[in-house]
């Protein structure tokens, strides 16, 4: 359908590109240790973008029998009201090879997926706790092409397994969560690591201690790093630079962070859920060094933001069936080569041993709210442990942490030995000095 569609675009417009994607999702939910639901959904559709008289229009459809001319008519009508933009589509280019598809994941039966959930339920059920397990398997096929002759296509699989354990004792609510995400089904070792992680965190949290106060060293685990990394993700977007709201805009080539800190977006990481040989605009994928040894190197762009900025796309265009493409990261790696550590289940990755008084943050409340891009954060803790004389003494309640990401990352106290993948992000624990800790 794409070839026919683009042929019509060439006759009626100056250029265009199209994406076809089919996705099948199977989702299972275990609540209180029992299978509650199992559903399968499928969606396929086409997204078309055209340039007509220097203006850009977009249309999409999930209707299998939609006529090519009808979809093109809608895209041209959109262009008549669209923004003026000198959009250039990429020419043909070889695509890199990256494993994105697992036969085992794609062909796994419903019974096999249920078996994964049942195993986790059997191993993690605890008296006085509510156990929920969520499993999702996605199988997708993507094709992209444009009127300049570029084309790409790939199949992908993604599997997510999430576990949350909740314990309510009076007014004390304890929640422990962890997950596995990858292109393949979790191996026995992956399930062992998930069980060990949840069990360890739960046992450490059963003892409640008083929180510390003051400007203290705080260890942010891979799960707890969301509040630290989210401002950087927003600030390193080419769109934020164009809008003039990025604190990192104009600082390319400057050392802004600790020289040991690096951040890379790698769409070619083998077997990861965010990997692909090209983006949704047919731009070939390649690893992008965003921050290298503390120096800001590059920002991420799709075709539109690159055109407005007078630069080239970095291959970070992402689009759905409806709406125009936007910027999206693939696999973010913090300061490492992406190889999981053997002790990824230990909170703090060994950094606690060097602290006389501090905190380990696993989860925060309200991340993503407020002026995130500015880097200032202030969040109550959802799960955090106190460290005293090099030992984790228990879980703290009614505490909050605050600071500024851009200042804290100038003086990193250490990197943990617990580097791990969490969703589409790889990171070890980070020890940050001078975080404000207060009782609530």
**H helix intervals, 218-302:** 226-235, 238-243
pLDDT at site 339: 53
Whose CA is closest to 330, among 107, 116, 96?
96
First to last CA, the chain: 59
| CA neighbor of 221 nearest in space, from 433, 436, 425, 419 | 419
87, 242, 247 from 308: Cα distances, Å: 9, 8, 19
What percent of the chain is modeled with pLDDT above 70? 97
Please write the tens of the pLDDT for every residue from 167-217: 998 889 999 999 999 999 999 999 999 999 999 999 999 999 999 999 999
Distance, CA of 385 to CA of 360 (rounded, Å): 5
pLDDT score at 335? 80
Element (H, E) at 358: strand 357-364
What is the pLDDT at residue 440? 80
Phi, psi (5° rounding) for residue 194? -65, -45
pLDDT digits (tens, 9 = 90+) for 298-336: 999 999 999 999 999 999 999 999 999 999 999 999 985
More confident residue, 229 or 83: 229
**Residue 371: pLDDT band by 50, 70, 90 thresholds?**
confident
How many residues are present in the chain?
A: 440
Element (H, E) at 169: strand 151-169
Chain-centroid distance of CA 426 in Å reads: 10
Q: Would you state the pLDDT for residue 343?
A: 54
When pLDDT is averaged across residues 409-431 and rounded to a whole number, the result is 93
Predicted confidence band of residue 69 (pLDDT cuts 50, 70, 90)? confident
Backbone CA torsion sign across 194, 197, 198, 199: positive
In order of their start, the domains of the chain are 2-204 (3.30.2290.10), 207-229+337-439 (no CATH)
Euclidean distance between CA atoms 38 and 130, whole angstroms = 19
Whole-prediction pTM: 0.93
Give residue 49's pLDDT band: very low, low, confident or very high (50, 70, 90): very high
Rounded to an integer, what distance in angstroms lies between the CA atom of residue 75 and that of residue 410? Answer: 47
Average pLDDT on 282-302 reads 97
Report H helices in 108-237.
110-124, 188-205, 226-235
């Amino acid at each position: 359908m794409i070839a026919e569609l683009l042929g019509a675009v060439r006759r009626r417009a100056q250029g265009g590109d199209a994406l076809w994607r089919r996705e099948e999702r199977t989702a299972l939910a275990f609540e209180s240790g029992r299978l509650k639901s199992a559903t399968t959904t499928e969606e396929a559709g086409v997204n078309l973008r055209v340039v007509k008289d220097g203006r850009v229009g977009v249309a999409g459809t999930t209707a299998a029998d939609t006529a090519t001319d009808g979809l093109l008519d809608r895209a041209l009508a959109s262009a008549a009201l669209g923004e003026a933009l000198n959009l250039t589509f990429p020419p043909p280019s070889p695509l890199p090879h990256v494993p994105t598809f697992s036969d085992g994941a794609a062909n796994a039966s419903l019974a096999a997926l249920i078996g994964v959930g049942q195993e986790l339920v059997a191993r993690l059920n605890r008296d006085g706790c509510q156990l929920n397990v969520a499993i999702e398997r996605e199988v997708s096929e993507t094709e992209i092409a444009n009127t300049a002759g570029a084309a790409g296509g790939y199949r992908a699989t993604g599997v997510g397994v999430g576990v949350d354990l909740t314990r309510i004792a009076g007014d004390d609510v304890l929640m422990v969560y962890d997950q596995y995400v990858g292109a393949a089904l979790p191996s026995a070792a992956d399930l062992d690591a998930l069980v060990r992680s949840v069990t360890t965190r739960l046992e450490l949290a059963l003892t409640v201690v008083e929180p510390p106060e003051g400007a203290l060293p705080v260890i942010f685990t891979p799960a707890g790093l969301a509040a630290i990394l989210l401002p950087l993700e927003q600030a390193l977007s080419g769109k934020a630079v164009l809008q003039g709201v990025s604190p990192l805009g104009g600082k390319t080539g400057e050392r802004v962070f600790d020289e040991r800190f690096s951040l890379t977006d790698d769409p070619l990481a083998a077997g990861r859920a965010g990997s692909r040989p090209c983006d949704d605009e047919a731009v070939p994928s390649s690893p992008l060094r965003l921050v290298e040894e503390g120096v800001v190197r590059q920002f991420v762009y799709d075709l539109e933001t690159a055109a407005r900025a007078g630069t080239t796309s970095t291959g970070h265009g992402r689009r759905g069936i409806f709406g125009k493409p936007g910027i999206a990261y693939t696999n973010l790696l913090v300061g490492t080569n992406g190889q999981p550590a053997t002790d990824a289940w230990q909170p703090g990755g060994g950094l606690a041993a060097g602290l006389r008084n501090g905190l380990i943050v696993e989860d925060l409340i309200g991340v993503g709210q407020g002026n995130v891009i500015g880097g200032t954060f202030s969040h109550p803790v959802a799960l955090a442990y106190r460290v005293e004389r090099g030992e984790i003494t228990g879980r703290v309640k009614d505490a909050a942490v605050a600071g500024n990401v851009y200042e804290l990352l100038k003086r990193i106290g250490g990197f943990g030995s617990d580097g791990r993948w969490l969703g589409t992000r790889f990171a070890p624990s980070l020890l940050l000095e001078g975080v404000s800790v207060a009782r609530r």
